[in-house]
Amino acid sequence: MTTNDVTLNLIHLLVQQKIITAKQADALFQQAQQQAGAAAAPVAAPVGPGAASPPTIGSAPPPVPPGAPPTVRVTYVPEAVKQEIKEETKKELIAEGSLPPPPASVLPEWLRGFKFDGDFRFRYERVLYDGSNSNLFINYNALAQSSTPFDISSNQLSFPPLLDTTEDRTLVRVRARFGFTDALSNDVTLGMRLSTGSNGGPVSPNQTLGTSFSEWGVFFDRAYLDYHPLAWAQFRAGRFANPWFQTDLMWYSDLNFDGAAVELAGEATPTLRPFLTAGAFPVQNTAFDFPTFDDQKQASHDKWLYGAQVGLSWLPEKQFLVKLGAAYFDYVNLEGKASSPCLAYLVSIACDTDDTRPGFLQQGNTVYGIRNIVLPPSITTPSAFQYFGLATPFRDIDVSGRIDWAMWNPVHLILDGEFAMNLAFNKSAISSKNPVNNLDANGNFDGGNIAYMTKLTVGHPEIKHLGDWNVSGAYKYLESDSLVDAFTDPDFHFGGTNAKGYIIGTNLGIARDVWVTARYLSATEVSGPPYGVDVIQLDLNARF
């Protein structure tokens, strides 16, 4: 077979694999013929009725004469090989002058470091309450966020805001997020992301549909600078993704953190990789003019979270990973403080610890009335306006681990576990504050400070392609004051702590970066009045 035949077959293969068009191939073949003609005498093309037509690209290649070696036909070329052939062919043709060089980028320099990403989730959710549930669960988050305290005196003839624990609900929800990162320099990256949701709390990225077609709210859920001067050191400041190695026991998977964090990780040996993470995060800032309707302003009572975690990844062999982490988290000023004696018989009167009430609650943490209300004896039936705060401080130790065995690679067997304990919990101290929830049938405080979770996953660790799959089962146990209920999973027991139960789920890829999810979450109370809830979720997910 001549060089010209080889060139023709190669160009024909590129056309079959849709790497170049037939028109481009004809131009390349004519160029090759001209170059070949410069090195050898031209051969006159046969003419006449029986003469063969010159070969054209896009049609079948010319028949091989008798005795000639057979033509090798390639029916499949892997994508990686096609790309390599395409790039190498381009480089050679550009070097020979057969193709013009690619045009210079039209993007300005400051735009060339941008990377965009986003995701979308459409969810059908069914909430099923147990028929034996109590119907008297007060919504303490609504009371805490109210601009006016609640009257707990006998003058109050209406109920406080109550949670729904008896009537089943159906929700259709959407979560949509769009973000970017920009490499400002070799060691500084800017990141931002927009998300659906609401400003009602840190664990609400969903937009519930059915609002008379009103427009959705969109918020910044990330905005940060990332400084990575060394391969093993990273500093972040602003609002960024969860920096801790954990399951979703303590932190909801969509929770982002405000503040600053440093992450150090490097190889100690080829199989051991230690890491250290530490950070400081403002949780709640005192209103600048607190109390608003009082000429006597009060000092700040800002709330902070300080945390540190050490851990180790061990990779004894290519298909086996063990990762362990131990952490300590200290919440400063998170608990509610009892006020000095306060004449809170008018709704407009402010007491000196009103700013210690929580900025956000889900449900489960123990609360108590933080106002030390003193009523004037001159009023026979005075009102008593009260706010509620957390009854305990939080200083959590946390141990988490993962075993990842790619025993049937790419199918993995993954075991996750986490255990947490609130070291600041003191049952007798809480009881002395006369808490208003987490009480047994005799009215005694019945909360606890332990939380743990275990989860087994079989399948692909991440769903990326058509046919990727995984199934999982998990068990959670969270006593009332083990964790801060504001930041836990809002789907399990419909959010918060004082819950135990299981989760089963599955994911299936239906296209590249498109997959469906089905989950069933069943949970009930650990202590206190009966409160059981099952949640069914069906999701359609996509990302880019």
- Mean pLDDT to the nearest integer, 356-378: 94
- Check residue 35 and give its pLDDT: 64
Mean of per-residue pLDDT scores for the chain: 87
41 band by pLDDT with thresholds 50, 70 and 90: very low
Specify the range with the lowest mean pLDDT, choosing from 14-18, 267-271, 335-339, 362-366. Answer: 14-18
Does residue 399 register a pLDDT over 60?
yes
50 band by pLDDT with thresholds 50, 70 and 90: very low
Specify the range with the lowest mean pLDDT, choosing from 85-94, 168-177, 285-294, 533-542. Answer: 85-94
- Sign of the torsion formed by the C-alpha atoms of 112, 114, 115 and 117: negative
26 band by pLDDT with thresholds 50, 70 and 90: confident
Q: CA separation (Å) from 187 to 112, 184, 193, 229, 450?
A: 15, 8, 20, 5, 41
Does residue 427 register a pLDDT over 90?
yes
For 32-56, letters b (16+ CB in 10 Å) and e give: beeeeeeeeeeeeeeeeeeeeeebe
- Residue of 70 and 17 predicted with greater confidence: 17
- Check residue 134 and give its pLDDT: 94
- Check residue 75 and give its pLDDT: 47
- Mean pLDDT to the nearest integer, 216-232: 94
Does residue 85 register a pLDDT over 50?
yes
Specify the range with the lowest mean pLDDT, choosing from 5-9, 76-80, 209-213. Answer: 76-80
- Sign of the torsion formed by the C-alpha atoms of 482, 486, 488 and 491: positive
- Mean pLDDT to the nearest integer, 250-257: 96
Q: Percentage of the chain surpassing pLDDT 90?
A: 69
pLDDT in tens, 123-152: 999 999 999 999 999 999 999 999 899 999
In the chain, the amino acid numbered 131 is G
Task: Give CA angle at 85 (84, 86), nearest 5°.
Answer: 90
- Check residue 311 and give its pLDDT: 98
Residues 6+ positions from 382 with CB-CB distance below 8 Å? 153, 155, 345, 375, 376
Does residue 95 register a pLDDT over 50?
yes
What DSSP state is assigned to residue 60? P
